[in-house]
Amino acid sequence: MNYKHPLSIIGFSFLLILLGCSADSEPAFMTLETPCRQCGEPNLFVSPDGTIYLSWIETINDSTDAFCYSTFQNEKWTSPQEIARGQNWFVNWADFPSLSVIGPWMAAHWLQKSNLGTYDYDIHIAQTLDSGRHWSPSFIPHRDSISAEHGFVSMLPLSSTRMLAVWLDGRNTTSPLSDRKDQDEHGHTGAMTLRSVEFDADGNLFAEAELDQRVCDCCQTAMALTSSGPMVVYRDRSEHEMRDISIVRRVQNTWTKPHILHADNWEISGCPVNGPAISADGKHVAVAWFTAAQDIPKVMVSFSEDQGESFSNPIRVDDGNPLGRVDIAMIDEGMALVTWLEKTNQKTEIRLAKVSIQGKEGIPYSVAATSEKRASGFPVIAKSGEQILLAWTEVDSLSTTVRTGLWRL
Q: Distance (Å, rounded) from C-alpha 48 to C-alpha 46?
A: 7
Query: What pLDDT is attached to residue 187?
Result: 53
- Which of 93-97, 102-106, 181-185, 372-376 comes out lowest in average pLDDT? 181-185
Cα separation values, 172 from 166, 188, 212, 214, 338, Å: 17, 9, 12, 10, 34
Cα separation values, 246 from 65, 193, 226, 277, 361, Å: 33, 13, 17, 12, 26
Q: What's the mean pLDDT in 229-240?
A: 98
Q: What band does 2 get if pLDDT is binned at 50, 70 and 90? A: very low
Over the stretch 158-202, which tens digit does the pLDDT of each residue have?
Answer: 999 999 999 999 999 986 543 444 455 555 568 999 999 999 999
Q: What band does 19 get if pLDDT is binned at 50, 70 and 90? A: low
CB 281 within 8 A of CB 46: no
Report the CATH fold assignment for 38-278+304-315+378-408.
Answer: Neuraminidase (2.120.10)
**Domain map (residue ranges) of the chain:** 38-278+304-315+378-408
Cα separation values, 16 from 21, 180, 363, Å: 5, 55, 11
Over the stretch 356-407, which tens digit does the pLDDT of each residue have?
Answer: 999 988 889 999 999 999 999 999 999 999 999 999 999 987 889 999 999 9
Over the stretch 303-358, which tens digit does the pLDDT of each residue have?
Answer: 999 999 999 999 999 999 999 999 999 999 999 999 999 999 889 999 999 999 99
pLDDT at residue 8 tops 60: no
Over the stretch 247-259, which tens digit does the pLDDT of each residue have?
Answer: 999 999 999 999 9
Percent of the chain scored above 70 by pLDDT? 89
Q: What's the mean pLDDT in 27-34?
A: 81
| 283 strand-pairing partners | none
pLDDT at residue 16 tops 50: no
Q: Distance (Å, rounded) from C-alpha 313 to C-alpha 340?
A: 20
pLDDT at residue 26 tops 70: no
Query: What pLDDT is attached to residue 13?
Result: 42
Work out the mean pLDDT of the chain and round it to a whole number. Answer: 91
pLDDT at residue 9 tops 90: no
